[in-house]
Amino acid sequence: MYSNTSKMEILADILKITIPGLLVLLTALLLLNRMIKNDQEKRKQELILQNSNTVTPLKLQAYERIVLFLERISLESMLLRTSKPGMSAMQLHSALLSTIRSEFEHNLSQQIYMSPKAWEVVRNARSNMIKIINGQAEKMPEKATSVELSKRLLETLMELDKEPTRAAIDYIKGEVSRMI
């Protein structure tokens, strides 16, 4: 029925139609794939931005609360709030440690929003304050008054280059300034 030449012509005609169609289909698929990837990337960026807009204020609040915590456990601040007339040195010692423990427990959850290094600095400041208080309380005579312990603690504070809480506050401020 059909000759070999005629079959070749039909095959050539089919290929002339099919090859451009396949090229158009392949181009469309590649473009569609690229558009889908771009759309996914755009959505990912929007989620990151939205998350950043939600998390950043929470982080800043956490850093604010930690700075307040550090200010509250500075020796001068604690001595003003805790020392009462007629207290013994041991009573003041106990009250200072109780204040630090209470303030720290109240702010423990803030570590979620802080960098591990910043939280370590805060913990070290707390530990160093406790060491200073314990060290001076141990040197006090048994009948010492809170005034004597306060005086010794403030003298110790003046001997330091920087109070542990002040060093921690400076670190936190530096970290916040890098965040903003």
Q: Residue-wise pLDDT tens for the chain (180 aa)?
A: 556 678 888 888 888 889 998 999 999 999 999 999 999 999 988 887 776 777 788 899 999 999 999 999 999 999 999 999 999 999 999 999 999 999 999 999 999 999 999 999 999 999 999 999 999 999 999 999 999 999 999 999 999 999 999 999 999 999 999 887
CA geometry: angle 44, 47, 51, nearest 5 deg? 140
The strand pairing partners of 88, in sequence order, are 145
Residue 146: inside a domain:
yes
Residue 105: inside a domain:
yes
Residue 158: inside a domain:
yes
Residue 61: inside a domain:
yes
The CB density around residue 87, as the number of other CB atoms within 10 Å, is 18
The per-residue pLDDT for 87 is: 95
The per-residue pLDDT for 10 is: 86
The per-residue pLDDT for 48 is: 75
Residue 83: inside a domain:
yes
Question: By CB neighbour count within 10 A (0-12 exposed, 13-18 middle, 19+ buried), where does 124 fall?
Answer: middle
Instruction: Quote the number of domains for the chain.
Output: 1
The per-residue pLDDT for 103 is: 96
Residue 26: inside a domain:
no
Instruction: Please give the Cα distance from 112 to 66 (Å, whole number).
Output: 12
pTM strictly above 0.75: no
The per-residue pLDDT for 13 is: 85
Domain range spanning residue 82? 56-179
The per-residue pLDDT for 112 is: 93
Closest among 135, 128, 137 to 88, alpha carbons compared: 137
Residue 122: inside a domain:
yes
Residue 171: inside a domain:
yes
Lookup result for tokens 């403030």: 154
The per-residue pLDDT for 2 is: 58
